[in-house]
Structure 1
Amino acid sequence: MAIRKSAIARAQAYRSHTSLWIPAALSLGLLHGIAHAETPKDVLIEVAEHGPNSLDAMAPAANEFAQMASWQLYDRLITHGTKTLPDGKVMYDATKIEPELAKSWEIQDGGKTLIFHLREDATFHDGSPVTADDVKWSFDRAVSVGGFPTVQMAAGSLTDPKQFSVVDAHTFKITLPVADKLTLPDLAVPVPYVVNKKLALRHATTDDPWALKWTSLNDAGGGPFKVGSWKSGDRIVFDRFDNWKSGPTPALKRVVLREIASPGTRRALLEKGDVDVSVGLPPKDYAELAAAGKVNVIGTLMQNEQFNVDLNVTMKPFDDKRVRQAIAYALPYDSIMKQALYERGEPLFGADPSAPYAPKWPVASKYNTDLDKAKALLKDAGYADGFKTDLYIDMSQTTVQEPMALLIQEQLKKIGISIEIHKVPGSEWFAKMGSKSMPMDINYFYGWLDYPEYFYFWTYDGKNNSVFNTANYSNPELDKLIEQARFESDPTAYDAIITKMNGIAMDDVPRVPVAHLYSDIAMQKNVKGYVYWFHTHLDLKSISKD
């Protein structure tokens, strides 16, 4: 293929410009010595406390930013449309399913058969064509690697490679045992992405048949962006894939995500104009930045989310429901909202104790701070003098969780409970959750699919017992209701099931609800096109700069 010299010259000029500018502008030593380093219009600089620890979200212990990376690097069959809220914010629309790699699809056999027709001109980043064989292998992989990806696929009744078949080079079929309303939206989440089968298999081994070690460190995708460079623990550079066919060409040519541990530094860089976007700031900073008005702060209430204190029901004394309820009555809710969260969320406590729970999620619990009730419950459970226990927090969330933990520690002393606080490195948090070994922890979960039973599937279901069920909770009655809700088609019956589920969860209280959080992000005023997505990360392909 011939390439004109003028095109080569433009590309070389672009590479030279960004390769010289980015390291200079992101050098902290240099940033302290300059007043303002305006970023180029087609380059976005984002700063965060953490970045991806893997380029493949399928890898064991892959973190949330690995999911972010996979979202940019890989295509999925389908995606969601967007909607504008009354306050002008834009977010994904769970009711709108739109094409991505699949240009069209058909649902047959009462919802048990889904047939997807792929774009014939789609290619991977290495130039090889995307085929239905790549899609099948990728889906086989997702249901077989185990852990989080496999459970996510199961949420949409995708559990067995036999369910996936190749009709022809550009037609892929899914067969379900029963129709499941979660299947189609489950195909739009970060997990079921399409991997370059031939490229990955060149690096597969007997011990690693899905080439997870190689894809953790290398790009095997065909999404809107490809990896320009990556230094784990420092930065990742995404370069636009100009041959992307699954949507409009992104406005940005390059995106740099730089890891900077200090939230104060990340805030200062944004306020000086040296970076375009800052994520993961403390709620206090977002509140102050929003009040100052020099940058845009967008806070969107997360879908299907709960911020809570988990109590491990398999460890004493939290195996006793009365102790768990005592903790629920003892937490300093108002102080947490004001001093740890700075009101960047809505309270999930203090509901009317005489009213049934609404058939939705999240809902506020009927608990409120009442130390007398807490003491009475502890006495009834045989812990009138209190006890000692351990509270674990995620170091990647210390700006919120540490002040919250200190407030809880101080409050529980009043009812005789002595707490030792343990900080777990963010890189180890996921594994720690999976160990089910924490008596108490501060945690949160947001469901990618906005259905109450989906939240319960991940966090309360004893049969599933996913990594997010850190309370290690199991209740056969609730498990049965979760399954019923997934397949109930009558709205009245469905609402009755959800109300009953909420009542059980709040009475057993393996996790104490505290707040429904905002997903906050701060950006320069010339950054446009931000869309809130259920995974809470930037969708780079929609972003542009004035």
Structure 2
Amino acid sequence: MQIAIHRLKNGHFLISGANGAARIVGQAVDLPNNLDIQGVGTNVPGYEASWNCYDRLITHPMKTVNGTPYYDRDKFEGQLAEDMNVGDMSVTFKLKSTAKFQDGTPVTAKDVKWSLDRAVTVGGFPTFQMKAGSLEKAEQFVVVDDRTVRVDFIRKDRLTIPDLAVIVPSIYNSELVKKNATAQDPWGLEYTKQNTVGSGPYKVVKWTPGTEVVYERNENWVGGVPKMKRIIWRMVPSSGNRRALLERGDADISYDLPNKDFVELKESGKLTIISTPYSNGLQYMGMNVTKPPFDNPKVRLAMAYAMPYQKIMDAVLFGLSKPMFGAPADAKTEVAWPQPTKYVTDLAKAKALLAEAGYPNGFETDISFDLGFAGINEPLCVLVQESLAQIGIKTTINKIPGANWRTELNKKTMPMFTNVFSGWLDYPEYFFFWCYHGANSVFNTMSYQSKAMDTFIDGARAAAAIGDKAAYDTDIKGMVDLAFADVPRIPLFQPYVNVAMQKNVSGYEYWFHRRLNYATLQKG
């Protein structure tokens, strides 16, 4: 049996049945631009390709949250490893003897070391991701024997073990990649951009960028034979088709439809609807704090009071999200993330703050958004544009194609923008390390720099590593309070992952990366 997954231009999935019905073809804007998460500029759909085509040493078991299978943040189990022995300053893994790459080659400790060496060396997002778990140097990865590898710790860090279970530390068929590497490309990034060389449940057998991706299952996957033989992604236009295909039964599952459609489809009772809050995730309005006018803290405060929070909840989200605004004035900061700010819409206060900042007549600026998620982003930005106009700020909305969004974020030149960040490791200090730390990762989209913030973040990580709860709590509260006071980004809401499925489709799981896990999908 095969499943065809059609990705709509605004990020939706349509999975068709055994014979690939609902063959609707359209223009692709957000299929994978790279099949390798360790590649340069790999987009989010490329993350999904890596998740399903590669294995890692360890993964998470499932638990049930509100009736939905949900990864268990605090537990780990072997994927390629049959045994994990955690010591004081190292962890040792014994590989499963049955683990093989998709070409039949055994997975060895040398492949593990080469893959982890690659992750900490190629630079960019993969290397920063490894650094988030204090995995920074090739010398940390030691081959003990053909089936045993040790990871040495450079410091105590509770994020180290969880970081080995995310997508980036995937294990590659090192000899195959090295055969296709060059002096200019020693890690074979061009080869793995177009070819999957893992041991995971699926392999890509056809990739036409912007048109189609075809997966076939790995019959010898160490995790067992996946239910579906073939998975197909095709692009179809979104206009008018996504909901009609579901309601006719021509599509089996749709992923992240507009919230209004999900509400109405749930009311109809004909489909299975699952809504799950993003783990460690927020949608926000960000501002480039390195350039006027947003280098002025009072301007940023004015923007926080000018956001049309409730209008966004009502007219864009239809209740399918958690508000991240309007906390009571006497509410105490919690040792948790995300948590709501105390900001509410107050245009009079916003205008007064603009005057204090030297902008009594407002200013002109751009608001940018990812067109790949236009269903939420476009009406959100229109509401913000209308609200800002009431305090004298004239804005131009800049719609950036999904395939180019990550590139534009990397440039860090957009003055104002809306975006989502969801931390793969569900800890407050992890979110803040990516989004607020002076190391200035790609997701510190505001280019925010604060020595005080860095001290809080570094302190929280150090305190967590040794179990100093008092120090940890103090640092977490400190970083949250500072983020809300300096407000380089304005939290708006915690989004939901919304999925609509035919009644005979099962196997959906929620994972930290929010992408589909093909290995468990099945159609009755």
Per the TM superposition, whether the score is higher than 0.5 is yes
Describe the SS at the equivalent of 2:509. Answer: coil
Among candidates 89, 107, 110, match of residue 133 of structure 1 = 110
C-alpha deviations, 1:76-103, integer Å up to 9, x for none?
0000011112x31221110110110011
* Cα distance change on mapping 1:45 and 1:68 into 2, 3 Å: farther
1:256 CA drift (Å): 1.6
Which aligned pairs between 1:192-211 and structure 2 lie closer than 5 A?
192-211=169-188
Matched, 1:472 2:452: no
Q: Please tell me the residue identity of whatever aligns with 1:414.
A: Q
Partner of 2:491: 513
- Identify the residue that residue 218 of structure 1 maps to in structure 2: 195
Instruction: Name the structure 2 match of 1:182.
Output: 159
C-alpha contact 1:116 1:173 (8 A) present in aligned 2: yes
User: 3-state SS of the aligned residue for 1:519?
Assistant: strand
Task: Give how far 1:46 is off.
Answer: 12
The offset of 1:249, in angstroms, is 2.2
Cα shift readout 1:374-414 (whole Å, capped 9, x = no counterpart): 01111111111111111111110111111111111111111
The residue number in structure 2 matching 1:373 is: 349
Find the aligned partners of 1:537 and 1:54 in 2 and give their Cα distance: 16
Match of 1:335 in 2: 311
- The equivalent residue for 1:72 is 52
- Unaligned runs of 5+ residues in structure 2 are 9-14
Aligned residue identity for 2:407: A
d(CA) in 2 for partners of 1:400, 1:506: 24
1:333-412 paired onto structure 2 within 5 Å: 333-412=309-388
- Counterpart of 1:90 in structure 2 is 69
Whole-Å Cα distance in 2 between the matches of residues 208 and 445 of structure 1?
31
For residue 457 of structure 1, what is the aligned residue in structure 2?
A: 433
Aligned to 2:264: 288
- 2:84 matched to which residue of 1? 105
Query: Could you list the per-position Cα deviations for residues 478-537 of structure 1 after superposition, in whole angstroms to 9, with x for gaps in the alignment?
Result: 111101111212223211211111100000000001001101111111111211001011
Partner of 1:438: 414
1:43·1:252 contact (CA, 8 Å) conserved in 2? no
2:513 corresponds in structure 1 to 535
Q: Deviations over 1:157-204 (max 9, x none)?
A: 001111111111010111112121101111111110000101111111
Q: Measure the CA separation in 2 of the matches of 1:366 and 1:511.
A: 14
Tell me which residue corresponds to 2:11.
none
CA distance in 2, matches of 1:324, 1:232: 40
Q: 1:493 to 1:38 in 2, by over 3 A?
A: closer
| Paired residue secondary structure (2:74) | strand
Residue of structure 1 in register with 2:43 after alignment = 63
- Distance (whole Å) between structure 2 residues aligned to residue 419 and residue 139 of structure 1: 45
**What is the rounded CA distance, in whole Å, between the counterparts of 1:140 and 1:302 in structure 2?**
31
1:153 deviation in Å? 0.4
State whether structure 2 residue 243 is matched by structure 1 residue 267.
yes
Change in Cα spacing, 1:38 to 1:440, as seen in structure 2 (3 Å) is closer
Shifted more, 309-318 versus 234-243: the winner is 234-243
Contact 1:41 1:545 in 2 (8 A): no
Query: How much does 1:545 deviate?
Result: 1.8
Percent identity over paired residues: 46
For 2:71 and 2:171, how far apart are their aligned partners in 1?
A: 21
Residue equivalent to 1:486: 461
Cα distance in 1 for partners of 2:18, 2:265 equals 23
Larger radius of gyration: 1
Instruction: Return the alpha-carbon distance in structure 1 between the equivalents of residues 432 and 102 of structure 2.
Output: 38
Please give the alpha-carbon distance, in whole angstroms, between the structure 2 residues aligned to 1:322 and 1:420. 22
Cα distance in 2 for partners of 1:213, 1:522 equals 36
1:44 Cα shift? Answer: 12
TM-score by length of 2: 0.94
Asked whether the 8 Å contact 1:46–1:277 carries over to 2, the reply is: no
Structure 2: distance between partners of 1:65 and 1:46: 19
1:267 to partner: Cα distance: 2.2
Q: Larger deviation: 171-180 or 320-329?
A: 171-180
Is the CA contact 2:30–2:403 (under 8 Å) kept in the aligned structure 1?
A: no
Supply the AA of the counterpart residue of 2:45.
F
Quote how far apart the aligned CAs of 1:260 are: 2.1
Partner of 1:167: 144
Residue by residue, what CA displacement relative to the aligned partner does 1:305-324 show, whole Å, maximum 9, x if unpaired?
11100011101010010000
The amino acid of 2:69's aligned partner reads V
Contact 2:363 2:394 (C-alpha < 8 Å) held by counterparts: yes
Question: Is 1:525 equivalent to 2:503 in the alignment?
Answer: yes
Secondary structure of the structure 1 residue equivalent to 2:99 = coil
Q: Distance in 1 between matches of 2:340 and 2:321?
A: 12
Match of 1:32 in 2: none
* SS in structure 2 at match of 1:325: helix
Q: 1 CA distance for matches of 2:120 and 2:264?
A: 44
CA distance in 2, matches of 1:221, 1:50: 23
Q: Which amino acid aligns with 2:132?
A: A
Q: Kindly indicate whether the alpha-carbon contact (under 8 Å) linking 2:284 and 2:489 is maintained by their aligned counterparts in 1.
A: yes
Q: Find the residue that maps to 2:75 and give its secondary structure.
A: strand
Distance 1:44-1:480 versus aligned 2 partners, 3 A rule: farther
Q: Which one of 51, 64, 67 corresponds to residue 31 of structure 2?
A: 51
Give the Cα separation in 1 of the matches to 2:174 and 2:317. 44
CA distance in 1, matches of 2:107, 2:81: 11
**Conserved 8 A contact 1:42-1:544:** no
Q: Which moved more, 1:500-509 or 1:122-131?
A: 122-131
AA paired with 1:69? Answer: A
TM-score, with length taken from structure 1: 0.90
Count of matched residue pairs: 513
Describe the superposition over 1:223-250 as per-residue Cα deviations: whole angstroms up to 9, x where unpaired: 11111322221221211101111x2322
| SS across alignment from 1:84 | strand
String of CA shifts for 1:425-452, please: whole Å, max 9, x gaps.
1111101001110110001100000000
The 1-side partners of 2:485 and 2:95 are apart by 48
Shift of 1:286: 1.7
Alignment partner of 2:211 out of 226, 231, 234: 234
What's the CA shift for 1:43? 11
Gaps of 5+ in 1: 1-13, 29-36
Partners of 2:298 and 2:402 in 1: how far apart? Answer: 32
Inter-partner Cα distance in structure 2 for 1:362 and 1:264: 34
Distance 1:340 1:49, change over 3 A: farther
Q: Secondary structure at the match of 1:484?
A: helix
Query: Could you say if the C-alpha distance between residues 303 and 263 of structure 1 is closer, same or farther in structure 2, counting changes exceeding 3 Å?
Result: farther
One of 371, 390, 393 as aligned partner of 1:417: 393
Counterpart CA distance in 1 for 2:47 and 2:249 is 28
Cα distance, 1:259 vs. partner? 2.1
Q: Distance in 1 between matches of 2:200 and 2:397?
A: 42
What's the counterpart of residue 476 of structure 2?
498
* Partner amino acid, structure 2, of 1:524: Q
3-state SS of paired residue (2:499):
strand
Which piece of structure 1 moves more, 329-338 or 248-257? 248-257
